Amino acid sequence: MSSIFSSLGRDVSIDIGTMFTRAAVGGRNSMVEEPSMVATDTKQEEIVAVGEEAERIVRRMPDVWRPLTPLKDGFIVDYRVTHTMLKYFMHKASNSVRRSSVFLSAPCGMTDVEQRALMDAVIQGGAREVYLIETPVAAAIGSGMPVLEARGNMVVDIGGGTVDIGIMSLGGVVVSRTIRFGGDDLNDALLQYIRQCFSVMIAEQTVEDIKRNLGSALAPLDDEEYTFQGRDMTNGLIKRSVIHRSEVYEVLQEPLQRIMTEIKNVIRQTSPELVADIMQYGMVLTGGTALLAGLGERISSEIGVPVRIPNEPEHCVVQGLSEWARNLEQMERFVVASKHRKGRA
């Protein structure tokens, strides 16, 4: 994988997410995509692996190594882990990091201190310069929205730890909001339900499989079932259980309704002229959770606007960062913070 990119001082675009980090170089179609995870010893004294390798060794030897993630709800919680992981992805994406400009997405609610910490981690990782852009702007650009035109453009990016909502017009951000809530909360709701109702402990991947196979934002027309295995909480043995689509639908209602409420709140803050544009042209739904069955239809029904979900919505942010990097002079107005190795800002 380290030879996927052989760039020479090319721009590096990085979408660092709560669950996955994606890195791309220049205009290439190839991409590095690995879990946002590092593995440390149980005393957290030494980082031994990053990304896919970290996930692999933690799953095989959970008593020896433990996972750490740099972000919680989309924001930095461990600077050392963030620096190590960003350096790993930067060097994996580019063989010439010291001649590279790095373009990063950032949640709308990130403070100046958090922005500086993120940029410092990139510069210390070897980059020549770093630029930050808000996540919904990157998602809008990556999904092909005309953000420079005189019309309202709305995007809702639902990641693992955050929901980023933005409304743009004429190359500017009119309204933006980050909610520290996302796809992980849907998984957590399912996990708690399964523990309480089935008295079993299951792996995170099993929860994700259940959500992907049975999850729906709309009332199901059939009651398909899914068989899964877990560890019985009473005797510690393997237990097989069956969950139905109707159960999953009911469990997901509360977290989904919270997302709907936040989308409505942003629209209420928007001028009537831009709302009219959104009603005419619709909004774009991006992020991995956009793939939840029926979510676009539910938002469209409750909000009253068309909803478009791009192909591979989970890649829109990193694609938008790459497009932004290629047109930096035109898109410079979207830069929320920047830092150069020589100390210029």
With beta carbons less than 8 A apart as the criterion, state whether 313 and 290 touch. Answer: yes
232 labelled ligand-binding: no
> In 3-state terms, what secondary structure has residue 182?
coil
Q: Distance between CA atoms of 182 and 169, rounded to whole angstroms?
A: 26
Asked whether residue 211 is marked as a ligand-binding residue, the answer is: yes
d(CA 283, CA 69) in angstroms, rounded, equals: 31
Rounded distance, CA 287 to CA 295, Å?
A: 12
Integer Cα distance of 56 and 329 in angstroms = 41
* 160 marked as binding residue: yes
Q: Answer yes or no: is 208 a known binding residue.
A: yes
Secondary structure in 3-state letters for 129-159:
EEEEEEHHHHHHHHCCCCCCCCCCEEEEEEC
Residue 161 assigned as binding residue: yes
Please list, in sequence order, all residues whose beta carbon lies within 8 angstroms of the beta carbon of residue 311, skipping any fewer than 6 positions away.
Answer: none
Question: Which residues fall within 8 angstroms of residue 323, CB to CB, at 6 or more apart?
Answer: 141, 142
Distance between CA atoms of 55 and 45, rounded to whole angstroms? Answer: 18
Binding site for ATP: what residues are annotated? 160-162, 208-211
Binding site: what residues are annotated? 160-162, 208-211
